[in-house]
Chains A and B, each alone.
Chain A
Amino acid sequence: MKEGKVLVRFRLNGKPVETFTKPNDTLLNLLRRNLGITSVKRGCEVGECGACTVLLDGNPVVSCLILAPTVEGKEITTIEGISKEGELHPLQQAFIKAGAVQCGFCTPGMILTAKALLDKNPNPSLREIKEAIQGNLCRCTGYTKIIQAIQLASKEIKSSCISD
């Protein structure tokens, strides 16, 4: 063990990561500073805006309130991890198509939460979508286009399942 540092091993977007962290660092800092994943945004840092959302073992969490050493053995997914073989995830495509991105600050977190929703519930109702993204604040879009994008992606995913 290095002086005052903790070794932490976890999977990031499917690949094993082994790194030292300060015991008092957050997962947000570890991802942005040590690992260069700046798609995870630093917003309020008190758990309220959702800009720092990542998936932890498939579930959305706010990385600003997670202590870095506590992710030992976990699977972390960021927006970089959801496209497959260079092709954007249906949600990413739907966000572009529906014009659901303005400044883009909320977008990575929003898409990750939406992905967790569609993974659990491929056919969510309007209410279920609204409930799921309650913790992801967007200051630009007024949410309408974001919700449309999630509905569009849900349709795309279903139809691609049928054609497979």
Chain B
Amino acid sequence: MLPRFEYVKPDRLEEALSFLDMHSNESRIIAGGTDLLVKMREGKTRPLWVVDLSGIREFGGVELKSETISIGPLATIREVEESPLIRDKAPMLSAALKEFAFWQIKNMATLGGNLCNASPASDLATPLLALSSKLRFLSLRGERIIPIDDFFLGPGETAIRQDEILAEILIPTPKSKLWAFNKLGKRSAHVLSIVNVAAAMEISQDRCEDLHLALGSVAPKPVRAKGVENYLKNAALSDKQIWEASKKVVNDIDPISDLRASAEYRKEMSVKLTEKSIKDAMDRGKT
């Protein structure tokens, strides 16, 4: 049985914002519910109000607004994975979401819920970090847009304020077609990743012009591997250079040991998956 609470479903955005303004401490938004219901059942969160956003139309869907991909917070994992626009403009995101959980969960889980839940093992955070996404928040006080790099603070902790709603995920259309997503988990559908890596790259004349590399499950929050990115900036992309760069990843991560893997194993695998991801991304330029 879930702890007792009351249920509200605002039909309009203004209603939702006013409600959250008045009851920010006692309420919890529900999107797909796949994290919230588990947490409520475990007694980890005990809201007085559960606020259902599904009546707010403008929060769904995926669209292109000039050069930016806009995703509504209530878009489901499956909707985004299968979106022709995402497949065309941000195939890394489709590929990452393909590995996400399984069909039932994909039909329920939303992108907004995944981000706000802020699991260090999120399979969505890493591609969005590598794609330099931005997040837009709304409250009665107004609007706020921040880079996703500033959003995650720690396990379950984010920069969202209590009266705010995550209203939009913004992804600048990637210029480069070179990308990779790799997830290591014992059985990808049921086990959270042991480490996941997303890479977006630009190459010019066999030199690395730009690299965005993000890792999940290897720190208290999903992280960008700035050490690796900087090491490879403008460097020639020889096997040796890539290996040297990949080893730098251990300075950007801070893994723990848990039931799924030891910290040592996670470090080793982070190096290997970093190397593999850079090479996978480069290979896309060869075909």
Does chain A bind chain B? yes
Q: A residues within 8 Å of B by Cβ?
A: 4, 6, 23-26, 45-48, 50, 53, 56, 59-62, 64-67, 69-70, 72, 113, 116, 131-132, 134-135
- Residue in chain A with minimal CB distance to B102: A135
- Taking a contact as CB atoms closer than 8 A, the residue among B1, B54, B190 that contacts A24 in the complex is B1
Determine whether the beta carbon of B105 is less than 8 Å from that of A135.
Answer: yes
B103 pairs with A132, CB closer than 8 A: yes
Instruction: In the complex, identify which listed stretch (B31-39, B85-93, B156-164, B235-243) lies at the interface while the others stay far away.
Output: B31-39
Task: List B contacts of A56 (CB < 8 A).
Answer: 107
> Which residue on A lies nearest to B187, using beta carbons?
A134
Question: Does B256 reach chain A (CB closer than 8 Å)?
Answer: no
Q: Which of B124-171 contact A (CB under 8 A)?
A: none
26 contacts between A and B (CB under 8 A): A6-B7, A23-B6, A24-B1, A24-B2, A24-B40, A25-B2, A45-B41, A46-B38, A47-B34, A47-B37, A53-B104, A60-B104, A61-B104, A62-B105, A62-B108, A65-B33, A65-B34, A65-B37, A65-B108, A66-B37, A67-B30, A67-B52, A70-B54, A134-B189, A135-B101, A135-B189
| CA A4 to CA B6, docked complex, whole Å | 7
Residues of B within 8 A of A62 (CB): 104-105, 108
Q: How far is the CB of B125 from chain A (nearest CB, A)?
A: 20
Count the B residues whose beta carbon is within 8 Å of the partner chain — how many? 29
CB B3 to nearest CB in A, in angstroms, measures 7
What residues of A have a CB within 8 angstroms of the CB of B6 in the complex? 4, 23
Q: Which residue of A lies closest to B190 (CB)?
A: A48
From B2, B33, B103, B104, contact of A70 by CB (8 A) = B33
Q: B9 interface residue, CB < 8 Å from A?
A: yes
CA distance A72 to B32 in the complex (A): 14
Interface contacts (Cβ under 8 Å), in number, total: 82
Question: Would you call A26 and B103 a contact (CB within 8 A)?
Answer: no
Which residues from chain B contact A113 at a C-beta distance below 8 Å? 103-104
Would A47 and B2 count as touching, CB distance under 8 A? no
Residues of A within 8 A of B5 (CB): 23-24
Least distance between B274 CB and chain A CB atoms (Å): 28
User: Is B50's CB within 8 Å of the partner chain A?
Assistant: yes
Measured CB to CB, the nearest residue on chain B to A54 is: B104
Is B175 an interface residue when CB atoms closer than 8 A count as contact? no
Question: Which A residues touch B41, using CB under 8 A?
Answer: 45-46
Report yes or no: B104 in contact with A135, Cβ–Cβ below 8 A.
Answer: yes
CB distance from A12 to the nearest CB of B (A): 18
For A60, the chain B residues whose CB sits under 8 A away are 103-104, 107
Given the known interface contacts A65-B33, A69-B52, A70-B33, the answer about A59 and B7 at a Cβ–Cβ threshold of 8 Å is: no
Determine if B286 is an interface residue (Cβ-Cβ < 8 Å): no
Which residues of A are found within 8 Å of B44, using beta-carbon distances? none
Does residue B4 face the partner (Cβ distance < 8 Å to A)?
Answer: yes
Q: Given contacts A24-B2, A135-B104, are A69 and B7 in contact (CB under 8 A)?
A: yes
Cα(A60)–Cα(B103), bound, Å: 7
| 0 or 1 for each of B1-27: is its CB under 8 Å from A? (1 = yes) | 111111101000000000000000000
Residue numbers in A under 8 Å from B102 (CB-CB): 50, 131, 134-135
Q: Please name all residues of chain A whose beta carbon is closer than 8 Å to the beta carbon of B3 when the two chains form the complex.
A: 24
Q: Chain B nearest CB: distance from A116 CB in Å?
A: 8
A134 to B189, CA, bound (A): 7
Residues of chain A lying within 8 A (CB to CB) of residue B52: 67, 69-70
Which are the 10 A-B pairs with shortest beta-carbon distances?
Answer: A135-B102, A23-B7, A134-B102, A24-B2, A134-B189, A59-B107, A65-B37, A135-B104, A69-B7, A62-B104
